[in-house]
Amino acid sequence: MDLLYLLYSLLRKKWIIVGCTVLGVVAGFIFTLFLPKTYGSVAQYSTGFTMEQKVSIKEEAGINFYEIETRFNNVIETFKSPKVMGMLSYKVLLHDLEDLKPFRTLTEEQKNSNTYKVVDKGQAEQILRRKVANMELLNPFDPEEKKVFDLMYLYGYAPEYLQGKLMISRADRTDYLNILCRSENPEMSAFIANTIGQQFIRFFNSIYGLRNQESAAKLDSLAASKKRAVDSLTEGLKAFRVKIGTPDVGARASAAMSVVQSVTSNYQQELAKLNNMRGEIRSVDEQLALLSTQNSGNTFVNNNAAILALEKENQGLEIQKNGKADDDIRRLQEQIDGNVRKIAQLKSTGSSNIDRQQQKNRAQTRQEELIARKTELQQQIIASEGNVAMYGRQKDDYEVITKTGGGDQVILDALERDLRIASQEYEQLKRSLQSSLDLDINPQNNFKPILVAQPPFAPEPSKRSLVLGLCGMLMLFLSSFIIIALEFFDSSYKTPTIFQRNTKLKTLSVLNKLNLKKKPLNDYFKDQDGDNNREGEGALFVENLRKLRFELATSGKKIFLVTSTKPQEGKTVVIEALANSLSQTKKKVLLIDANFSNNTLTRKFEAKPSLEQFSFSGNGNVMDKFWGSTSMTAIPNTDLIGCAEGNHTPSEILPKNNLFENLPRIAESYDFVFIEGASLNKHADSKELTTWVDGIIAVFSAKSSLGQVDKESIQYLNSTGDKFVGVVLNNVEVNNMDL
C-alpha cells in the first residue's frame, strides 16, 4: 500500500475525521457534565524501613535499597490482600448500619429488594463486629453470613469496589507511604483512608508480631542472666582485692597454677556439656525423622461401609426367621452371630475420624516441641563452642605464666578480664533490647501514622479540558486509523500505480469515474463541441479517451475485441465512448455486440439481434446482405450489429459463413470495428472471438481486485502475443488519477 495514497485518502475524508473529532469532544463534554463529584482524602504512614530496626545480638550496618524497595512492594500488596480489604468493607458497612449519618443511603427500590428484607440488622451488626474482632472473612456458604455478604454488595462496599477507590503508593525516595481514597462522600474518603491503615497494621502484627515478641522476651532473659553474672564477678573481684591487698610478684607462678586448674576444670565441664548437647540434638533429629516416617506411613482403616453392609444383612436374616422351621431358624441365627463377630472385629481394627484427628494433633504438637528444642540446642551449642574456645585460650595463657612465675596479680588479672568480657556482652544485650523496645517489639512493623486523613472541603477538579482534549485526540486517531485500515485491507486496484504493480500489463489509458445517472455519456462529448472547457471530470474523461483513440489509431490494427476478466467492468461504456470520440474525427465505426451473456449494447441502442441470423451463402454481394442486418445508432457514423441474449458461445450459435468469417470484407467499409466479448473469467466467448480480430483490448475497473482466476485470464492475454494491444483502467476516482 502506497503511503502517498493513504495520505490522500485521509485528506479526501478530512471532513469525516473532523466530524468524528468534534463528536468526540461533544461526547467528552456531556460525560464530564454528568460526572459525579469526587472527594479525595490522603493519609500518610511512616514505615521505618530505612531505619536501623532489627532485633539482634550482633550489630549490622548499611542500608539495602533493593531490600527496602521489595518491602514497600510487599506492603502495598498486603494492603490489597483479601483479609485487609475484607476488614475495611466490614468496617464501612458497620458504619452505615450503626451511624445516624451513613455514607450511603439505599434507594426505595433497593430497600424493597429481597436482599435487604431478609437481613436482620442487629444480627448483621453482631456478625460484622465478630468478624472484625477475629479478623475472619465472611463465609458465603453459611446462610446467615451469606445474607450479610449480599447486603455488602447491595451497599456497594464489596472489597473489589473499595479497592478501585484506593491508590496506595510510596512517596518518592522517602520512608512514607501515601494512602489516597476517592469517593462521592468526603467523610467516606477520610474514613476509608484511615481505616485501611488501621486494619493493615492489625493484620501485619498478627503475622509477624508473635515471633518478634518472643525474640524480645528471649533478649530480656539473656540480659537479666548476664546482669547477674556481671554482679557476681564484680563482688568476687572486690572480695579478692580486699583479701590480697598488695599483690606478691613472687607468688605469680603458684597463683597461675591455681587459675590453670580452675580454667581446666571449666574447660572440661563446658566440653562435656557441649558433647551432651550434640548427642541430644542428634537424638532430636532421629525423633523428628521417626515421627515424619510414622506420619507418612500411618494408614487409617475406615470399615464403616463393611459394618453397615453386615448390619443390613442381619436385618434381612431376622426377617427371614418368620415362619421358618427350628433348624432353619438355628442356621439363620448362626449366620447372624457370625456377622456380629465380624462387626466387632471391624470396629476394633478401624479408627474413627476423631481418633485420627487426635493422633494427628498429638503428632503435630510433638513435632513442634522437637523443632523448638532443636532450635534451642543449636543456640546453646553455638554459645558452648565459644566458651570452650575461650577456656582453651585462657588455659594456654596461664600455663605459660606458671612457667615464668605468677601470684595474686595473675588471679586479679583473670578476674578483671572475665568481668570486662561479661560487661561488654551485657551492654550489647541492653542495646539490642532497647532497639526492640523502640520499635514497638515488632521490628518488621514500625508503621506510624504521621498524617491522618481529613474530609476535603471541595471536590477534586473535573479536569474537563484534559478529558475533552483526550476525547478529541482519541476520536481523531481512531477515525484516521479506521480509514487507513479500510484502505489498507481494500485489495482493489484504486490507482494506476497499484494496478500496474499487480498486473504488469501495458496501460493504454486511464479513465476517470463518471456519474452516468446524472448525465448521459453522449452529453459529455457534446459539451466539448460547445466550448473549450478542459476542467471537471467530463473534460478529464474526454481527454484521456483521446489518448486511447490515438493509441488505437497508431497501432496499425482495425478490428478490436473489447473484453474483460470480470463482468460489469465497463466494456460497453468504453466502446460507446470510443465510438463518440472517433466520430468527432469523422471516422466510420462498426460496433458488434457478441456478449451473449449480457447484450447491453443491443438493448441500449435498441438494435435488432441479427448476428445469429447472418449467413452469406456466396451468392450475390455480401455487403448487400450486411446492410440489411445493421442498425443505426445515435452516434454519428456508427453502425451496430446486435445479438440475442443466451447461454451459448459464438461457435455454438453462429451458422456457417457467419458475419465473423466475412468480417475482413465488411471491415473495408469502416475505419474501426469494435467487438464486445463476454468476460474471460466465466466464459469462453472472447477466446473464440480472438481468431477473427486484429487486436485485443482488456477493460479493468479500479473497483476490482486481483484474484487467482484473474491471474489466469491475464496469463491468457499475454499468451496472445502481438494481438494484445493493452488495457484500459476504468472507473478511477479523480483524486487517484495521478497516484
Which pLDDT tens digit goes with each residue over 4-28? 666 767 777 788 888 888 888 888 7
Domain positions in the chain are 38-212+447-451, 251-424, 496-736
Q: Residues 386-409: what's their mean pLDDT? A: 71
Top-confidence residue, 60 or 317: 317
pLDDT band at 720 (very low <50, low <70, confident <90, very high): confident
The residue among 734, 699, 686, 725 whose CA lies nearest residue 573 is: 699
Residue recorded with cell 597463683:
255
Grid coordinates given for 698: 482488456
- Looking only at Cα atoms, what is the longest distance across the chain? 169
pLDDT band at 440 (very low <50, low <70, confident <90, very high): very low
Residue-averaged pLDDT of the chain: 79
pLDDT beyond 50 at 53: no
Task: Using alpha carbons, list the distances in angstroms from residue 542 to 511, 526, 548, 701.
Answer: 9, 11, 10, 17
pLDDT beyond 90 at 674: yes
The residue among 572, 552, 523, 551 whose CA lies nearest residue 731 is: 572
Domain 251-424 and domain 496-736 have a common topology: no
Alpha helix (H) ranges present in 439-535?
A: 464-489, 496-503, 521-530
Query: What is the reported pLDDT for 657?
Result: 83
User: How many Cα atoms sit within 13 Å of 432 on the Cβ side?
Assistant: 23
CA distance 594 to 670: 18
Top-confidence residue, 321 or 612: 612
CA distance 288 to 296: 12
Given a contact cutoff of 8 angstroms between Cβ atoms, the answer to whether 720 and 584 are in contact is no
Phi, psi of 355 (to 5 degrees): -60, -45
Crossing angle, helix 408-438 and helix 353-404, to 10 degrees? 140
Q: Detail the DSSP E strand segments found in 280-420.
A: none
Query: What is the reported pLDDT for 360?
Result: 65
Query: What is the reported pLDDT for 401?
Result: 65
The residue among 573, 520, 537 whose CA lies nearest residue 737 is: 537
Phi-psi region of 637 (alpha: psi -120 to 50; beta: other; left: phi over 0): left
pLDDT beyond 60 at 442: no
Query: What is the reported pLDDT for 500?
Result: 83
CA distance 464 to 78: 35
Tell me the pTM.
0.47
- CB-CB neighbours of 728 under 10 Å: 27
Query: What is the reported pLDDT for 219?
Result: 60
Range in 154-158, 241-245, 404-408, 693-697 the model is least confident about: 404-408
Give me the CATH topology for the region 496-736.
Answer: Rossmann fold (3.40.50)
Phi, psi of 173 (to 5 degrees): 55, 35
CA distance 482 to 491: 16
pLDDT beyond 80 at 359: no
Query: What is the reported pLDDT for 436?
Result: 54
Query: What is the reported pLDDT for 227?
Result: 74
Residues in CB range of 8: below 8 A, 6 or more apart:
735, 736, 739
Query: What is the reported pLDDT for 344?
Result: 75
Long-range contacts of 413-418 (CB under 8 A, 24+ apart): 414/259, 415/233, 415/236, 415/237, 415/240, 416/237, 418/233
- 118-164 residue pLDDT tens: 888 888 888 888 888 888 888 888 888 899 999 999 999 999 998 88
pLDDT beyond 60 at 247: no
Residue recorded with cell 530496626:
53
Query: Residue 125: enclosing H or E segment and its boundaries?
Result: helix 121-134
Residues in CB range of 658: below 8 A, 6 or more apart:
611, 614, 615
CATH code linked to domain 251-424: 1.10.287
Query: What is the reported pLDDT for 59?
Result: 47
- 154-203 residue pLDDT tens: 999 999 998 888 888 888 778 888 999 988 888 999 999 999 888 888 88
Q: Which DSSP string do the residues of 340-372 spell out, in sequence order?
A: HHHHHHHHHH---HHHHHHHHHHHHHHHHHHHH
Residue recorded with cell 472472447:
686
pLDDT beyond 60 at 667: yes
Task: Using alpha carbons, list the distances in angstroms from residue 651 to 565, 608, 661.
Answer: 20, 20, 11
Query: What is the reported pLDDT for 562?
Result: 92
pLDDT band at 706 (very low <50, low <70, confident <90, very high): confident
Share of the chain above pLDDT 70, in %: 82
